[in-house]
C-alpha cells in the first residue's frame, strides 16, 4: 500500500515538473524523465512511504519565458522588468490545510524572495483558505506572482497530454498586441477562458492574458483560435 502511495506521488511529481517546463521554466531533461526507481531512491522513506518534505523544489524561468512575460520595450522604459521569477513548488503533507498553512507558506515565499509559489495538498484546502487565495492580491499578502494551489488528485495525470486537449500556447504582451491590431479587435471581443479552466490552471494563466489554441482538423489541417483569460 505504501508502495502504491509512492508511485502515486511519483506521478504527481512528474506532472508538476512537466507543468513547470510547459510554462517555460528551465527543467533539466533527466528530471522530467525520472524513473520510479530513481524517485523511490530519492524521496522514499525507510518505511516505504514517501517523504513529501524532500520533494519541494524551485525553478528558474528560461530566457524565452522571461521575454514572454516582459512588456514590449518603449522609449520611456527600454528594459521592462519581466513579470515572472523563481517559483517554489511545495508538497504539503497536511491532510487539512487551512488559512494558517497558506499564510505560513506566503511568508516563506516572501522571505525566500520567490516570485510565485505552487502548493500541492493531499486534499482540498478549507473554503476560507481558498477565499484568502482569491483575495490575497487585494489584501496585500504573499508574493508578487501569487500562489496557486493544486490537489494531488488533479495532478495524477497530465491533462494536456490527453489527445482531445488541443495545444494551448500563451501569447506574450507583444504578440497579443499584434493579434488585436491585425484583426482590429478589442480584447473583450475575444472568446474567453476561465482562470479556473483546468488547462488555464495548468499553464498558470493570469487575467488578461491571451492563449492561442491549436486544433487539428481533418478538413482544414491545423487551425488556431484565441482566448482571453478572465
Encoded one letter per residue, x for contact with another protein by CB under 8 A and - for no contact, window 136-175 reads --xx------------------------------------
Q: How far apart, in whole angstroms, are the C-alpha atoms of residue 57 and residue 74?
A: 35
Q: List CB contacts of 9: < 8 A, sequence separation 6 or more.
A: 39, 43, 50, 52, 55, 91, 152
Least distance in angstroms from the C-beta of 101 to another protein: 7
Which of 60, 62, 110, 126 forms a contact with another protein (CB under 8 A)?
A: 126
* Structure-block grid coordinates of residue 41: 531512491
Backbone φ and ψ for 184, nearest 5 degrees, come out as: 50, 50
Nearer to another protein, 154 or 187 (CB): 187
Which of 35, 81, 128, 161 forms a contact with another protein (CB under 8 A)?
A: 128
DSSP 8-state class, residue 50: B
Which of 21, 67, 99, 199 forms a contact with another protein (CB under 8 A)?
A: 99
Nearer to another protein, 87 or 97 (CB): 97
Q: Nearest-5° angle of CA 102, CA 229, CA 104?
A: 10
Contact set for another protein, span 30-49 (CB under 8 A): none
Length of the chain: 230
Which of 113, 135, 153, 178 forms a contact with another protein (CB under 8 A)?
A: 135
Nearer to another protein, 87 or 190 (CB): 190
Strand partners, 170: 211
Least distance in angstroms from the C-beta of 49 to another protein: 16
Strand partners, 61: 25
Q: How far apart, in whole angstroms, are the C-alpha atoms of residue 111 and residue 100?
A: 17
| Residue span binding another protein (CB under 8 A) among the ranges 21-29, 62-70, 131-139, 202-210 | 131-139
Does residue 127 belong to the site contacting another protein (CB under 8 A)?
Answer: yes
Does residue 123 belong to the site contacting another protein (CB under 8 A)?
Answer: no
* Structure-block grid coordinates of residue 152: 494531488
Does residue 132 belong to the site contacting another protein (CB under 8 A)?
Answer: yes
Q: How far apart, in whole angstroms, are the C-alpha atoms of residue 147 and residue 89?
A: 10
Q: How far apart, in whole angstroms, are the C-alpha atoms of residue 15 and residue 162?
A: 13
Does residue 214 belong to the site contacting another protein (CB under 8 A)?
Answer: no
Q: Which residues bind another protein (CB under 8 A)?
A: 96-101, 103, 126-129, 131-132, 135, 138-139, 183, 185, 189-191, 223-226
Amino acid at each position: 500500500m505504501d508502495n502504491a502511495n509512492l508511485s502515486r506521488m511519483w506521478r504527481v511529481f512528474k506532472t508538476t515538473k512537466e507543468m513547470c517546463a510547459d510554462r517555460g521554466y528551465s527543467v533539466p531533461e533527466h528530471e522530467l524523465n525520472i524513473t520510479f526507481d530513481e524517485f523511490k531512491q530519492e524521496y522514499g522513506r525507510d518505511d516505504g512511504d514517501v517523504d513529501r518534505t524532500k520533494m519541494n523544489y524551485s525553478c528558474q524561468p528560461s530566457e524565452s519565458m522571461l521575454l514572454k512575460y516582459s512588456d514590449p520595450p518603449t522609449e520611456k522604459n527600454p528594459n521592462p522588468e519581466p513579470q515572472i521569477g523563481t517559483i517554489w513548488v511545495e508538497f504539503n503533507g497536511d491532510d487539512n490545510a487551512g488559512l494558517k498553512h497558506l499564510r505560513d507558506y506566503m511568508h516563506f515565499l516572501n522571505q525566500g524572495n520567490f516570485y510565485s509559489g505552487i502548493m500541492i495538498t493531499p486534499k482540498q484546502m478549507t473554503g476560507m483558505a481558498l477565499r484568502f487565495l482569491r483575495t490575497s492580491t487585494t489584501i496585500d499578502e504573499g508574493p508578487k506572482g501569487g500562489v496557486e494551489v493544486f490537489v494531488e488528485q488533479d495532478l495524477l495525470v497530465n491533462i494536456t497530454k490527453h489527445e482531445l486537449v488541443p495545444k494551448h500556447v500563451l501569447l506574450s504582451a507583444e504578440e497579443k498586441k499584434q493579434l488585436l491590431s491585425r484583426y482590429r479587435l478589442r480584447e473583450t471581443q475575444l472568446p474567453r477562458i476561465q482562470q479556473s479552466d483546468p488547462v488555464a490552471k495548468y499553464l498558470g494563466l493570469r487575467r488578461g492574458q491571451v492563449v492561442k489554441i491549436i486544433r487539428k482538423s481533418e478538413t482544414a489541417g491545423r487551425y488556431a483560435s484565441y482566448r482571453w483569460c478572465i
